[in-house]
Amino acid sequence: MDHALFYKQYIRPLLFKLDSESAHKLAHEAGHLAGSLFPLFANDFKYQGNDLSVNLAGTQLENPVGLAAGFDKNGLLASMLGNIGFGFAEIGSVTGKPSAGNPKPRLFRLVDDEGLINRLGLNGDGADVVAQRLKTTNLSLPIGINIAKTNDPSIKGDLAVEDILHSFKAVKDLPAIYVTINASCPNTKEGILEEKKQLATIFSEVQKLNSGKLPLFVKLSPDSSDELLHDMVEEAIGNSLTGYVCGNTTTTRKSLRTNSQMLEKIGTGGLSGRPLKDLGLSLCRRIAKLKDANQTIIGVGGIFSGQDAFDYIVAGATVIEIYTGLIYEGPTLPKQICEELSALLKSRRMSITEATGSESKIKA
Ligand SMILES: Cc1cc2nc3c(=O)[nH]c(=O)nc-3n(C[C@H](O)[C@H](O)[C@H](O)COP(=O)(O)O)c2cc1C
């Protein structure tokens, strides 16, 4: 039986019997333990073609499918994710101080929508521990590192800037290919950085420490107003950021199959998965219009197939990332996306580089 079917018929039903966070923990631990076995099945998990190789911020990747931030917050899987076919992975969010996050329960499945709602609230080991771990890890793939402000409302103003700088200092000399500043976590009181002045300070102070070496991205919210995006892009261009991660989860609950009582019971949190795709794609398009021509977009939100990845790429993304799709489709999803994407590009006689942003070129 093929691995995708095996996951859906046997593994997923078992995992979905557990509450979402325990299932995630179990899958994480199994991945950690079985990591060294995956190379034995390389043909089953890794896309073998070379037509999807892309350059992300100066690094040539085997393929454009990355793991989104939040799945491997503490860098525990960096030694095996390459073995299941990812082209790169974004580790984190990593915060200045270790944090237990918000009280449980805080992660919920919307099975009818193939979505998740989470309000984890940036739980993690903290930047120093994660950096130390990654220093001694044999990396199986190129990694980006996502940094965010520690979830603690008393850390604000100058302290908030210092907290982010602490994380950046801890990770800046790791062999990472980029760093993302997460300005869009919906699950902490001050998670979405709306204030232009504070954002400008963070970008410029990080760049001072960086001396322009490590490509910097900012992760945006699909719920942002045009005005906020305009401000963010202005500051990102002014501070020579390499690009944008489009985007984070949404706090909206539109057009869901899950009934409103259930949604009310679940409460607040960021929605991800299939219902997020239109919003994420629209964010990608909005940023493609505002950004500098030489800036890069990493597309993420509701990607479950090669067609979804293609939609983000023609909308302007150079590479894409997945999280919720992995929970519903299983560990063969990176390979499946690559195969479908390759077929779509071939049918349109386009290289992946030609496809990137081609939507606006056609319209122009
Ligand atoms: C449980 C969970 C935890 C997440 N944690 C983070 C995080 O720590 N930092 C971050 O930038 N994004 C985080 N995200 C957002 C994802 O990186 C991604 O932007 C979002 O889930 C949309 O992609 P998807 O629809 O493929 O899941 C998290 C998402 C989920 C579902």
Ligand 1 neighbour 248 (Cβ under 6 A): yes
* pLDDT recorded at residue 47: 96
**Helices 158-171, 196-210: inter-axial angle, 10-degree rounding:** 30
Q: Which one of 185, 246, 284, 338 is the catalytic residue? A: 185
What are 250-265's pLDDT values in tens digits? 999 999 999 999 999 9
- Cα gap 219→244, rounded to integer Å: 6
Express each pLDDT in 167-212 by its tens digit: 999 999 999 999 999 987 766 655 556 677 888 999 999 999 997 6
CB burial of residue 196 (10 Å; 0-12, 13-18, 19+): middle
Atom of ligand 1 nearest to the CA of 69: 17
Ligand 1 proximity of 107 Cβ (cutoff 6 Å):
yes
Summarised one tens digit per residue, pLDDT across range 215-236 is 999 999 999 999 999 999 999 9
The two structure tokens encoding residue 198: 């504070």
Residue identifier of the C-alpha nearest atom 9 of ligand 1: 93
Are 310 and 342 in contact by the 8 Å Cβ rule? The answer is no
Residue 333 has pLDDT above 80, yes or no: yes
> Ligand 1 pocket check: which of 22, 180, 323 to mutate, most ligand atoms within 8 Å of Cβ?
323
Domain that holds residue 272: 3-363
CA of 364 to the centre of ligand 1 (A): 33
Q: How many Cα atoms within 13 Å fall on the side-chain side of residue 71?
A: 24
Provide the domain count of the chain: 1
pLDDT reading at 350 higher than 70: yes
Confidence of residue 2 (pLDDT cuts 50, 70, 90): confident
Ligand 1 pocket member 325 (CB < 6 A): yes
CB of residue 182 inside a 6 A radius of ligand 1: yes
pTM of the entire predicted model: 0.97
Q: Which pLDDT does position 188 carry in this prediction?
A: 62
Going from the Cα of 293 to the center of ligand 1, the distance in angstroms, rounded, reads 27
93 lines ligand 1 (CB under 6 A): yes
pLDDT bin (cut points 50, 70, 90) of residue 165 is very high
Lowest average pLDDT, out of 14-28, 284-298, 323-337, goes to 14-28
**Whether the CB of 167 sits within 6 Å of ligand 1:** no
Ligand 1: centre distance to CA 68 (Å): 6
* H helix intervals, the chain: 3-6, 12-15, 20-34, 42-45, 127-135, 158-171, 196-210, 226-238, 260-266, 277-290, 306-314, 324-329, 333-347, 352-355, 358-363
Q: pLDDT grade, residue 362 (50/70/90)?
A: low
Q: Degrees (nearest 5) of the Cα angle 111, 257, 283?
A: 90
Å from CA of 135 to ligand 1 middle: 24
Q: What is the biggest distance separating any 2 CA atoms in the chain, rounded to whole angstroms?
A: 56
CATH classification of the domain holding 104:
3.20.20.70
Does pLDDT of 364 surpass 60?
no
68 lines ligand 1 (CB under 6 A): yes
Q: Is 146 in the pocket of ligand 1 (CB under 6 A)?
A: yes
CA distances from residue 312 to 12, 21, 64 in whole angstroms, order as listed:
27, 29, 11
Question: Tokens in use for 18?
Answer: 């557990």
Quick check: 341 pLDDT over 70?
yes
- Does the Cβ of 337 fall within 6 Å of ligand 1? no
Q: Is 148 helix (H, G, I), strand (E, B) or coil?
A: strand
Identify which of 91, 107, 220, 248 to mutate to test ligand 1's pocket (most ligand atoms within 8 A of the CB).
Answer: 248
Instruction: State whether the beta carbon of 274 lies less than 6 angstroms from ligand 1.
Output: no
pLDDT tens per residue, range 25-81? 998 888 888 777 777 777 789 999 999 999 999 999 999 999 999 999 999 999 999
Give the mutation target among 74, 99, 114, 272 for probing the ligand 1 site: most ligand atoms within 8 A of CB.
272
From the list 139, 131, 296, the residue with the least C-alpha distance to 216 is: 296
* Selected residue with higher pLDDT from 34 and 329: 329
- Note if 284 is an active site residue: no
Residue 285 CB-half CA count within 13 A? 13
308/239 Cα distance (integer angstroms): 31
Which residue carries 């079985």 as its tokens?
34
Query: Quick check: 341 and 309 in contact, CB under 8 A?
Result: yes
pLDDT digits over 103-145, tens only?
999 999 999 999 999 999 999 999 999 999 999 999 999 999 9
Q: In whole angstroms, what separates CA 205 from the centre of its chain?
A: 24
Atom of ligand 1 at shortest range from CA of 124: 8
Nearest residue (CA) to ligand 1, atom 28: 70
